[in-house]
Structures are given as structure tokens and as C-alpha cells.
Amino acid sequence: MKFRRLRRWGRRDIIRDEPADRMLPDESGVNVTSLKNGQSAVVTGITGPEKPARRLAAMGIIPGAVITKRSASAMKGPVVIEKNGKQLAVGFHMARMILVEQTSIKTGRHGEQL
């Protein structure tokens, strides 16, 4: 493992390695974290860095997908979202990348419209 030089000796280029999405301001409208539990929404877009966005896409979290927020943990813990009846636990910061538009579509256990 490579140790980072202590900051007081180090140059400015050694920045604390916060992932970019952690600094993402919550400005681009409604995202998954602001939904209530049990509320459904249509994904309108994914913001933020590319790698986590591609991981979400591989699981079918893409614009147009209908998802339901199942639960959230206290203190910015993971958010559980459901799509087609399958649950996905997503870290809080990654959940903030998922922009949504609330919908009145009610979905059943495997995503079928009711």
C-alpha cells in the first residue's frame, strides 16, 4: 500500500480523496433521496461521475425507468429502491445522483401497473 504523504509536508496536489459525487450539490431538482418511502417515480436522468452512473445503468436504473423508494436508513445511510419487484440498496450519495419525477403510477410487487 502506498502511504500518502502527510498533508503538512505535502503539496496541494495531494487532496483528500473524496469521491466527486460526495461533493455533488443537491441542486438539480428532485432526486431519489427526497422521495417518501413507498413513493414511485420515473427516473429522468443520472448526474455525477461516470463509473457509478454506469453501474446504475447496468442494473436498469436509466431514464424512463419506474422505481419505488422502499426505505432509507437514518443518517444518510443506504436507500433501498425497487424496480420490477427487485430491491437494490444504493449508498446515499449514489442515490442523490438519480434524478426523478414523481408519478402517480402505482406499481405492484413486480413493477406491473395497477
Cβ atoms of 28 and 100 closer than 8 Å:
no
CA distance 107 to 28: 26
**60: Cα separation from own chain's centroid:** 13
| E strand segments, 34-84 | 40-46, 66-72, 79-83
Nearer of residues 28 and 91 to other proteins, judged by Cβ = 91
CB of 83 to other proteins, least distance (A): 8
CB of 21 to other proteins, least distance (A): 7
CB of 102 to other proteins, least distance (A): 21
Taking CA atoms, 29 is separated from 19, 84, 97, 100, in Å, by: 21, 24, 10, 8
CB of 53 to other proteins, least distance (A): 11
Nearer of residues 30 and 62 to other proteins, judged by Cβ = 62
Residues that bind other proteins (CB under 8 A): 1-4, 17-19, 21, 51-52, 54-55, 57-60, 62, 64-65, 70-78, 80, 83-94, 108-112, 114
Nearer of residues 19 and 28 to other proteins, judged by Cβ = 19
Taking CA atoms, 30 is separated from 21, 89, 90, 101, in Å, by: 16, 19, 17, 7
Nearer of residues 21 and 41 to other proteins, judged by Cβ = 21
